[in-house]
Amino acid sequence: MRKVNLLNPWTVTGLTDCSFYVTISKSVKNKIGWSVSINFQIVSSENSANLQMLELVKSFFGNIGNISKHKSDNTLRYTVSGVSNCKIIQTHFSNYPLLTYKLVYFNLWTIVLDIIGKGEHLSPEGLLKIVSIKAQFKKGLSKLLLTSFPSYTTTVRPNFNPNLPSMNISWLCGFMSADGHFALHIRKNSKFTLGANC
C-alpha cells in the first residue's frame, strides 16, 4: 500500500526557503577543462522536528535526493542533484511558484538546467553562457572564475514578478513554519514596579 503524503504543494513552496546552486569547477575529465553541476538544497538547524519536515519534503518529491547532517554548523541538508532529479524540482516550482525573491534565482537556475539538459555545457560557448548566468546569483563568481573567464558578459537578471494573488493559507502556513518565529523581549524600564516590561 502506497504511503500518502499529506503535504499540500503550496505548503512545500512556502516551507522551502531553499537554495538553487550552480557549481563550476576545474576538471581533467572534460575536454573543456571544467565541469558544471546543479543542485537544489534546503538547509535547517538540526533537530528532530526539522528532520521529520525534511523527510516529508523528500517523500513529497518522490524520495529523490539525500538528507545529511553537518556537525560543523549543526545543520540538516536536503540535497537534490543531477538533471533528471532537478527537473522534478523545476516542475514543482513552475506549477507552484515561489513568492519571495528566491523566484529570481530559480529562474536563473532553470535556464542553466535547460542548458545542461541539452548538453550545451560541454562546449566553450555553453560554458561561458553558464558563467554569465552564475554571475547573477547572490554570491556571484569566485576569484578563480573571474580570472579564468575575463571575457564573460553579464546576463540580465530576470525581473522579480511574483504572482502574489496565488498566495494562500497553505503557502502562508509553510512560510511561517520555516521563517516565522515567536519572540519575547524583556527590557529594563523604571516606570514599571518590577523595573522591566515585556
Mean pLDDT within 80-99: 96
* Residues 9-197, CATH architecture: Roll (3.10)
pLDDT at residue 1 is higher than 50: no
Instruction: Give pLDDT, residue 196.
Output: 78
Lookup: cell for 167: 498566495
Strands (E), 46-177: 66-70, 75-81
178: pLDDT strictly greater than 80: no
Predicted confidence (pLDDT) per residue in 50-79, tens digit: 999 999 999 999 999 999 999 888 999 999
Residue whose entry in the numeric block shows the C-alpha cell 555545457: 121
Q: With 70 as the cut, is the pLDDT of residue 28 above it? A: yes
- At 5, is the pLDDT very low, low, confident or very high (cuts 50, 70, 90)? low
* pLDDT bracket for residue 179 (50, 70, 90): low
pLDDT for residue 86 is more than 70:
yes
Q: What is the distance between the alpha carbons of residues 108 and 69, in angstroms, rounded to a whole number?
A: 28
**Residue 121: pLDDT over 60:** yes
Residue 160 has a pLDDT of 93
Sign of CA dihedral 89, 94, 96, 102: positive
Selected residue with higher pLDDT from 167 and 146 = 146
Q: Which of 136, 36, 40, 48 is nearest to 79 (CA)?
A: 40
Beta bridge partners of 38: 22
pLDDT of residue 29: 87
Burial of 109 (0-12, 13-18, 19+ CB in 10 A): buried
pLDDT at 186: 82
pLDDT band of 2, cuts 50, 70, 90: very low
Does 4 score more than 50 pLDDT?
no
User: Which range has the worst mean pLDDT, 3-12, 27-36, 62-71?
Assistant: 3-12
Domain boundaries, the chain: 9-197
